[in-house]
Amino acid sequence: MARVLLVEDDPTVADVVGRYLSHAGFEVDRAGDGHAALALAAECSPDLVVLDLMLPGLDGRQVCRRLRERSAVPIVMLTALGEEADRVAGLETGADDYITKPFSPRELVLRVQSVLRRTLAPPPAGRGVLRAGSLVVDVAARVATRDGESLALTVREFDLLAFLMAHPGEAFSRVTLLERVWGWTYGDASTVTVHIRRLREKVEADPTTPVLLLTVWGIGYRFEAGVSASGVTASGVSASGERS
């Protein structure tokens, strides 16, 4: 599983936290001061760093900055006080989250997992808002609306739609979709066909003559890139402003 570098000078705290993290399934490396932390980070390239702000020698903030100079590894900072000033300072130097002492080890583990989920999971694809005409898909919130009304899409339907909209105009074979949306490398491709059908039923104005989810004969499916992909094209907006 993931590898965590724990930077903490107090042996007692380090011990407790280290045990908790190990128990949660992380591989834990430990460093007692800033220099050791930088050296270890360079050596084992951890997936996340838990960093005490108060350190002997190199200050935690400096360590944070130095780490940032050469990698984007997520950092969770341990601060002594819960003051806004400290928090801003911590975030400014590049921390992804912080937790104030005294803290429960359990909470720290939760934060670590949360940060990892945030930084590891999202990158591949899908964040932000996808649009096509009056169809709006919020990938993060998992909400799809058309003309302001929310659509009741199931999990698979949503993923399929989001994926296709994230690659507008590109044609994908059923097998490819099965692989990229379902995460399968085997399985029956007709599954995709059926889901496309169900999706059209909900998304298309006239499901029998689709204009968004198009069939590419002999290949698979493609999301309409055509008009008004991103941004608002002339036709729809006007209304309110109307000064002429």
Query: Which residues here bind DNA, judged by CB under 7 A?
Result: 152, 154-157, 174, 182, 187-188, 190-191, 193-197, 200, 207-208, 215-220
Q: How far is CA 174 from the centre of its chain?
A: 26
In the complex, what is the shortest distance from the CB of residue 241 to DNA, in angstroms, rounded to a whole number?
Answer: 10
Measured distance CA(14)–CA(133) in Å, rounded? 54
Question: Strands of 213-216's sheet, edge to edge?
Answer: 171-173, 220-223, 213-216
User: What token pair was written down for 18?
Assistant: 């280290």
Query: Beta strands of the chain (E only): which ranges?
Result: 3-7, 27-31, 48-52, 75-79, 97-100, 129-132, 135-138, 143-146, 149-150, 171-173, 213-216, 220-223
Sign of CA pseudo-dihedral 215, 216, 217, 219? negative
Only one of the segments 29-37, 162-170, 179-187, 200-208 lies at the binding site for a second copy (rule: CB under 8 A); that segment is: 162-170
- CA–CA dist 198, 195 (Å, integer): 5
Q: Is 209 helix (H, G, I), strand (E, B) or coil?
A: coil
Binder of residue 61, out of a second copy, DNA, none (CB less than 5 to 8 A by kind) = none
**What is the nearest approach in angstroms of a second copy to the Cβ of residue 45?**
14
x/- binding map, residues 87-116, to a second copy, per CB under 8 A?
Answer: xx--xx-xxxxx-----xxxx---x--xx-
When asked if residue 81 is in the footprint of a second copy (CB under 8 A), the reply is no
Name which of 96 and 224 has its Cβ closer to DNA: 224
Helix, strand counts (H, E) of the chain:
9, 12
Q: If phi over 0 gives left and psi between -120 and 50 gives alpha, with beta otherwise, what is residue 65?
A: alpha
Spell out where 47-150 has E strands. Answer: 48-52, 75-79, 97-100, 129-132, 135-138, 143-146, 149-150
Least Å from the CB of residue 140 to DNA: 17
- Please pick, from the candidates 25, 56, 57, 122, the single residue that binds a second copy as defined by CB under 8 A: 122
Q: Is 124 in the site for a second copy (CB under 8 A)?
A: yes
Q: How far is the CB of 106 from a second copy (least distance, A)?
A: 6
With contacts defined by CB under 8 A, name the span among 33-41, 47-55, 186-194, 210-218 that binds a second copy.
210-218
Which region, judged by CB under 8 A, interacts with a second copy, from 26-34, 123-131, 189-197, 201-209? 123-131
Judge whether 3 and 44 are in contact, CB under 8 Å: yes
**Residue 8 in contact with a second copy, rule: CB under 8 A:** no
Q: Which residues bind a second copy (CB under 8 A)?
A: 12, 16, 19-20, 65, 68-69, 72, 74, 87-88, 91-92, 94-98, 104-107, 111, 114-115, 118-119, 122-124, 127-129, 131, 136, 138, 140-143, 145, 148, 154-155, 167-171, 216-219, 222, 225, 229-232, 237, 240-241
